[in-house]
Structure 1
Amino acid sequence: MRASRTITVISALTLVVAVAATGPLRAAADGDQSGQHGRDDTDSSRVVQIGVFGDMPYGDYGRAHFPSVLTDMNRSGLDFSVFVGDTKNGREACFADPHPSNPANPTPEKAVADAAHPDVYKAALKDFHSLRAPLVYVPGDNEWTDCDRTSIAGGAVSDSSDRLAYLRTLSYPTDQSLGQRTMTLTRQSAAYPENVRWETKGITYVGLNVPGSDNNFSTGGKDGPAAESQAEYAARNAANLEWLRQGFAAAKAKGSTGIAVFIQADMWDPTASVTHFEDTKKELFRQTVAFPGQVLLVNGDSHHFTVDKPLTDYATTNAAGLAGPNTIENFTRVTGFGEDQNHWVSITADRKDPNVFDIRQHVIAANVPAYTPPSG
């Protein structure tokens, strides 16, 4: 999804944001899956270095800058990275090579790949496999939800459900991550292989298919057939909520001191319809307040690096006696870069640090534009 909005952005190039602890933390768990990816420092037995990026490359501008992002991530010694959706912009067609599809799909197929329009899904996988460390891919709306929009360039529309099925087949064929070096993931089911969970060095990680464009809930018109999208939303939303509950239960059972959840949608975007994220936010509230450690949500979608605490309770008067709800203090949200800002974010996770998660932005000098001074 695209967004043009003003938002509070934390912009110091070397900023480190510590996620404040608010309560007692539990002992670390055994059974790390990626301990072999440790670093050459005194904390290698417990520290995990994570790269986060998404909403790129967008158009020719993004494709020119994207290699620098991948190169910078490759030389940063990451243990793994997560791509939080949108491998292209929403105006570009969802070109795909011929593949089996449901003949009952209601949207005519007008985006068959050819020499002039290569398969965008295979191109994204090629980029992902250029990363040395394991890569977990959470899909975004531009890869499937928006494929049947009437605003697609050249009218090359395709069916959103077909593209989601195609993406699932290509991107999640086994229990291994993407990347040159892989790690084992727990997938929710054959129906929802993009929903994943893994545990590394005492911290639990969960990936969910929660995309922009109001979680693929369409009322028809420019956003594709309403009945198809609403049925898809209902089934996936139920699966997502169950996977979220299972993720927190697994974190508690393992004694994880933190849990990080990765999705594509910015569920608090004031410029977009967010009605059909309400179930997800309510479940995050229930699970977070019952979790004895730190909770980190990472999303893309709105393209501006931000660290904030948007999750609240449902009080009408808060603890200070002021109008409005209370902020959930052990919940922190990170929104990554994207679109015209082709950079990435790193997260240092340390199970023994009371803060658990430290967030740092990586602004790539080669991708910084020439700025226009004021006139006069």
Structure 2
Amino acid sequence: MNLRRAAIRACAAALVTFIAAVQASPRQITFSFALIGDQPYNNFFEPATESLIQHIGNQPDIHWILHLGDIKGGNEPCTNELIERRIAQLQRSEIPLVYVPGDNEWTDCHRPSNGNFDSQERLSFLRQQVFSDPRSLGKTNFRVRQQASHPYPENLMWQQGSTLFVSLNVPGSNNDLLNPESRKTTTSKAMQLLLARERAIDAWLNEAEALFLDERTRPTETVIAIQGNPIDGSGGNDINPKKNGYARFMERLVKYINTTNRPVLLAHGDTHRFKWDKPGLQKFGGTPHTDFLFYRVEGWGHPFMNTWVRVTVNQGQTAPFEVSSQSMPSPAAGN
């Protein structure tokens, strides 16, 4: 146990310099960012997503945008051209934009309607397009830290003031545990791939936890961003990890909350309906105190193209998160 604690402290010391360098902005008491995701789902809706990103970029109090994955529809082809075009759209944001991989752009690309691609090959392509440089997207951007040790460069970490942000590749389609015939792989192989990502996530959250051991970097709260809905999405209510691809992630989330003993906001997409609540975590090993510290927000998705979510963080407060649904103004009559 002492050796493990020493290793964690050593990791924390190594992270101090980096975290100081990747502040999205200087330390402050209150700031806001935007959540969008699950769009655009076809070429017809690309202009709507363009307008939404431009609208958010014009909000003076929004520091950056978090896109919670799915930059294409579930029946669109996973071609290089389409993915490159949708990433280029995110890059045109006037303010920094952080993107989380969604199931539609890699997990589900085995579908005949998607082009019968190999899912792992599509993930590799996505990494080349988005995660080859340790920076956010957007015309202006900020540095992020990538998990390169496993390597899973799409797992990111950054800090704004005393708020720690961690984004993870936890997609929809039951966290890539779904294994239809079109995927052309065995059930054991699908589980092997899931376990490899879960090991990487465990290691990444270990590094995040290490920051709480050093007073120079100790965060006051954490925002964890994923694409899949692990609470009331494709995993169902089963706690069996062979059936629910999110079960072990949720158990690890409980451990993270209990270890840091600070508020945690889980932000996800995938089911396209705004949610802002405090689900109970008892079935994943949580306690009433765990529930007290835990918050969940889901952003709007297709076809709700004129709405977004504002998240305000009041750093260091007992209840630090304020969340509200926002709508773009309707066009003026006669325009």
TM (norm. structure 2) is 0.82
Q: CA deviation at 1:245?
A: 2.6
Q: CA deviation at 1:332?
A: 0.3
Identity among equivalent positions (%) equals 27
User: What residue number does 1:211 align with?
Assistant: 171
The answer on 1:233 being equivalent to 2:194 is yes
2:82 pairs with one of 120, 124, 128: 120
Q: CA deviation at 1:60?
A: 4.2
1:168-227 deviation digits (Å, cap 9, x = unpaired): 011011211111111111111162100010111011100000001111123342444235
Code of the aligned partner of 1:232: L
Which has the bigger relative contact order, CA under 8 A and spacing at least 6?
A: 1
Matches within 5 A, 1:191-340: 191-226=151-186, 228-253=189-214, 254-269=217-232, 272-273=235-236, 275-314=244-283, 328-340=291-303
Code of the aligned partner of 2:208: G
2:52 pairs with one of 60, 69, 76: 69
User: What residue number does 1:82 align with?
Assistant: 66
The answer on 1:136 being equivalent to 2:98 is yes
Query: How many residues in Structure 1 have an aligned counterpart in Structure 2?
Result: 300
2:138 pairs with one of 179, 182, 195: 179
Q: Distance in 2 between matches of 1:164 and 1:33?
A: 25
Q: CA deviation at 1:232?
A: 2.2
Contact 1:32 1:201 in 2 (8 A): no
User: What residue number does 1:170 align with?
Assistant: 129
Q: Distance in 1 between matches of 2:91 and 2:180?
A: 36
Code of the aligned partner of 1:287: Y
1:160 pairs with one of 109, 112, 119: 119
Q: Distance in 1 between matches of 2:257 and 2:206?
A: 10
Q: Distance in 1 between matches of 2:282 and 2:312?
A: 28
1:127-148 deviation digits (Å, cap 9, x = unpaired): 1111122211110000000000
Change (3 A) 1:148 1:288: same
User: What residue number does 1:341 align with?
Assistant: 304
Q: Distance in 2 between matches of 1:315 and 1:234?
A: 18
Contact 1:149 1:224 in 2 (8 A): no
Provide the secondary structure at the position in 2 that maps to 1:51. Answer: strand
Q: CA deviation at 1:308?
A: 1.4
User: What residue number does 2:20 align with?
Assistant: 31
Change (3 A) 1:228 1:161: farther
Contact 1:54 1:337 in 2 (8 A): yes
- Higher mean alpha-carbon deviation, 224-233 vs 341-350, is at 224-233
Choose between structure 1 and 2: higher helix proportion. Answer: 2
Q: Distance in 2 between matches of 1:70 and 1:295?
A: 26
Q: CA deviation at 1:313?
A: 2.0
1:149 pairs with one of 107, 111, 114: 111
For structure 1, which runs of at least 5 residues remain unmatched after alignment?
Answer: 1-29, 39-43, 97-118, 320-325, 368-376
For structure 2, which runs of at least 5 residues remain unmatched after alignment?
Answer: 1-18, 237-242
